[in-house]
């Protein structure tokens, strides 16, 4: 691949919400989390129904179940909205150029040439590309910012050449 891929965009709230939710869904074991919530809630309800003398213990199980439920709901709804709203970098205009030699990353406050080795893996979902650097840090490239299907295809080819781990 010889030509560079230049993208210019500003994040929309949906860009971050979709990416953060996809990240959380991958990091958390949702099936296990939901199973634990159901089991704890069931134990709590069964204890209230069948063992009224142990109602304090049953209430504790119910409280833990409700707490876990609220934390899971917050992780997918409230937290990403707050992060997007209060993080100034999401209001910047981004100018990114991807090439075989690296990534030119420019905003109003940053002008940097990055090596591909900074990113350890990429996760591709329906709405975006998430290029990870570190365990929980990632750069979001919304799919909506590509000017053509050919440009997006060239970008995916470059990712395949430069990234060691691609997760779809």
Q: What is the pLDDT of residues 45-73, one digit of tens each?
A: 998 888 878 888 999 999 999 999 999 99
Q: What is the pLDDT of residues 73-118, one digit of tens each?
A: 999 999 999 999 999 999 999 999 999 999 999 999 999 999 999 9
Q: What is the pLDDT of residues 6-46, one digit of tens each?
A: 999 999 999 999 999 999 988 888 899 999 999 999 999 99
Task: Kindly list the domain boundaries of the chain, sorted by start residue.
Answer: 5-11+96-167, 23-83
Looking at the chain, which runs of residues are DSSP E strands?
5-10, 93-99, 102-106, 111-114, 121-124, 128-132, 138-142, 166-167
pTM above 0.85, yes or no: no
| CATH entry, 5-11+96-167, from 1.10.3470, 2.60.40, 3.30.420, 2.30.29 | 2.30.29
Place of tokens 């439920």: 69
User: Using 50, 70 and 90 to split pLDDT, how confident is the model at 140?
Assistant: very high
């Amino acid at each position: 691949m010889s030509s560079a891929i230049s993208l210019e965009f500003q994040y929309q709230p949906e860009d971050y919400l979709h990416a953060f939710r996809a990240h959380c869904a991958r990091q958390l074991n949702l099936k296990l989390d939901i199973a634990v919530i159901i089991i704890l809630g069931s134990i709590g309800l069964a204890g209230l129904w069948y063992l009224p003398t142990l109602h304090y213990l049953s209430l504790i199980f119910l409280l833990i179940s409700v707490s876990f439920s609220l934390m899971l709901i917050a992780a997918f709804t409230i937290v990403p909205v707050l992060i997007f709203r209060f993080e100034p970098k999401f209001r910047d205009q981004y100018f990114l150029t991807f090439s075989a030699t690296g990534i030119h990353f420019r905003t109003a406050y940053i002008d940097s040439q990055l090596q591909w080795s900074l990113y350890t893996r990429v996760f591709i979902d329906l709405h975006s590309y998430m290029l990870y650097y570190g365990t929980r840090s990632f750069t979001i490239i919304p799919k909506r910012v590509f000017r053509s299907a050919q440009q997006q295809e060239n970008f995916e080819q470059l990712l395949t050449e430069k990234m060691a781990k691609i997760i779809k």
